[in-house]
Chain A
Amino acid sequence: MPEYTTHTYDVLVIGAGGAGLRAAIEASAAGVSIGVICKSLLGKAHTVMAEGGIAAAMGNVDERDNWQVHFADTMRGGQYLNNWRMAELHARESPDCVRELEAWGALFDRTKDGRILQRNFGGHKYPRLAHVGDRTGLEMIRTLQDHGIHQGIEVHMECTVLKLLMDDGRVVGAFGYDRERGRFLLFKAKAVVVATGGIGRAYKITSNSWEYTGDGLALAYDAGADLIDMEFLQFHPTGMVWPPSVCGILVTEGVRGEGGVLRNKEHRRFMFDDIPEPYRTQTADNEEEGWRYTQGDRNARRPPELLTRDHIARCIVREIKEGRGSPHGGVLLDISWIKERIPNAEEHIKKKLPSMYHQFKQLADIDITKEPMEVGPTTHYMMGGIKVDGDTQMSTVPGLFAAGECAAGLHGANRLGGNSLSDLLVFGKRAGYYAACFAKKSGLGPVADAQINLAASNALAPFERTNSAEGPYQVQQDLQEMMQNLVGIVRTGGELEQALPELERLGERSKHLAVSGNREYNNGWHTALDLPNLLTVSEAVTRAAIERQESRGAHFREDRPNKDPEFGKVNIIIRKGPAGEMQVIRQPVPAMPQELKQIIEEMK
Chain B
Amino acid sequence: MATATFRVWRGDREGGRFQDYSTVVSEGMVVLDAMHRVQAEQAHDLALRWNCKAGKCGSCSAEINGMPRLMCMTRLNQLPLDKPVTVEPLRAFPPVRDLVTDVSWNFEVKKSIKPFKSRVPDAPDGTWRMAQKDVDRVQEFRKCIECFLCQDVCHVLREHRKFAEFAGPRYFVHMAALEMHPLDVEDRTAELKGTHSIGYCNITTCCRKVCPENITITENAIIPLKERVADRFYDPLTKLFRILRGGDSRRSTGPPR
Structural contact, B110 and A149, CB atoms closer than 8 A: yes
Instruction: Tell me which residues across on chain A come within 8 A of B130, comparing CB atoms.
Output: 107, 110, 114
Q: Check: A524 CB closer than 8 A to any chain B CB.
A: yes
Q: Check: B250 CB closer than 8 A to any chain A CB.
A: no
* CB closest residue in chain A, given B100: A521
The answer for the CA separation of A409 and B73 in the assembled complex, in Å, is 37
User: B23-55: which residues lie under 8 A (CB-CB) from chain A?
Assistant: 26-30, 33, 39-40, 44-55
Structural contact, B28 and A524, CB atoms closer than 8 A: no
Structural contact, B59 and A102, CB atoms closer than 8 A: no
Chain B residue total in the interface (Cβ 8 A): 58
Q: Check: A85 CB closer than 8 A to any chain B CB.
A: no
User: B83-123: which residues lie under 8 A (CB-CB) from chain A?
Assistant: 96-98, 100, 102-104, 107, 110-111, 115-116, 118
The answer for the CA separation of A104 and B181 in the assembled complex, in Å, is 11
Structural contact, B45 and A515, CB atoms closer than 8 A: yes
The answer for the CA separation of A249 and B57 in the assembled complex, in Å, is 13
Q: Check: B253 CB closer than 8 A to any chain A CB.
A: no
Shortest A522–chain B CB gap in Å is 5
The answer for the CA separation of A40 and B50 in the assembled complex, in Å, is 9
User: A19-54: which residues lie under 8 A (CB-CB) from chain B?
Assistant: 40-46, 48-49
* Secondary structure type dominating chain B contacts: loop
Q: Check: B165 CB closer than 8 A to any chain A CB.
A: no
Instruction: Tell me which residues across on chain A come within 8 A of B49, comparing CB atoms.
Output: 40-41
Shortest B173–chain A CB gap in Å is 12
Q: Check: B162 CB closer than 8 A to any chain A CB.
A: no
* CB closest residue in chain A, given B73: A362
User: B165-216: which residues lie under 8 A (CB-CB) from chain A?
Assistant: 178, 181, 183-184
Instruction: Tell me which residues across on chain B come within 8 A of A589, comparing CB atoms.
Output: none
Q: Check: B252 CB closer than 8 A to any chain A CB.
A: no
Structural contact, A523 and B39, CB atoms closer than 8 A: yes
* CB closest residue in chain B, given A524: B44
Q: Check: A132 CB closer than 8 A to any chain B CB.
A: yes
The answer for the CA separation of A107 and B139 in the assembled complex, in Å, is 7
Shortest B145–chain A CB gap in Å is 7
Structural contact, A359 and B55, CB atoms closer than 8 A: yes
Structural contact, B53 and A114, CB atoms closer than 8 A: no
Instruction: Tell me which residues across on chain B come within 8 A of A103, comparing CB atoms.
Output: 118, 126
Instruction: Tell me which residues across on chain B come within 8 A of A104, comparing CB atoms.
Output: 116
Choice from B59, B73, B107 contacting A363 with Cβ under 8 Å? B73
Structural contact, A521 and B98, CB atoms closer than 8 A: yes
Structural contact, B28 and A523, CB atoms closer than 8 A: no
Q: Check: A245 CB closer than 8 A to any chain B CB.
A: yes
Q: Check: B227 CB closer than 8 A to any chain A CB.
A: no
Shortest B10–chain A CB gap in Å is 10
The proximity string for B residues 156-168 relative to A, scoring 1 for CB distances below 8 Å and 0 otherwise, is 0000000000000
User: B141-161: which residues lie under 8 A (CB-CB) from chain A?
Assistant: 142-143, 145-146
Structural contact, B142 and A523, CB atoms closer than 8 A: no
Structural contact, A209 and B39, CB atoms closer than 8 A: no
Whether A146 touches B45, Cβ cut-off 8 Å, given contacts A48-B52, A209-B50, A245-B29, is no
Structural contact, A517 and B132, CB atoms closer than 8 A: no
Chain A residue total in the interface (Cβ 8 A): 66
Structural contact, A362 and B55, CB atoms closer than 8 A: yes
The answer for the CA separation of A102 and B29 in the assembled complex, in Å, is 39
Q: Check: B244 CB closer than 8 A to any chain A CB.
A: no
Q: Check: B228 CB closer than 8 A to any chain A CB.
A: no
Which of A210, A474, A477 lies at the interface centre, i.e. has the most chain B CB atoms within 10 A of its CB? A210
Structural contact, A244 and B39, CB atoms closer than 8 A: no
Q: Check: B239 CB closer than 8 A to any chain A CB.
A: no
User: A518-560: which residues lie under 8 A (CB-CB) from chain B?
Assistant: 518, 520-525
* CB closest residue in chain A, given B125: A99
Choice from A138, A211, A245, A359 contacting B51 with Cβ under 8 Å? A211
Shortest B20–chain A CB gap in Å is 18
Instruction: Tell me which residues across on chain B come within 8 A of A224, comparing CB atoms.
Output: none
Shortest B220–chain A CB gap in Å is 15
Whether A132 touches B127, Cβ cut-off 8 Å, given contacts A48-B56, A245-B29, is no
Q: Check: B233 CB closer than 8 A to any chain A CB.
A: no
Choice from B29, B52, B111, B131 contacting A114 with Cβ under 8 Å? B131
Q: Check: A115 CB closer than 8 A to any chain B CB.
A: yes
Structural contact, B142 and A210, CB atoms closer than 8 A: no
Choice from A133, A245, A521 contacting B33 with Cβ under 8 Å? A245
Show the binding face of A for B, using Cβ within 8 Å. 40-46, 48-49, 99, 102-105, 107-110, 113-116, 132-133, 135, 137-139, 142, 146-147, 149-150, 157, 180, 209-211, 242-246, 249-250, 355, 358-359, 362-364, 471-474, 477, 515-518, 520-525
5 interchain residue pairs of minimum CB distance: A243-B28, A517-B45, A114-B129, A524-B44, A105-B116
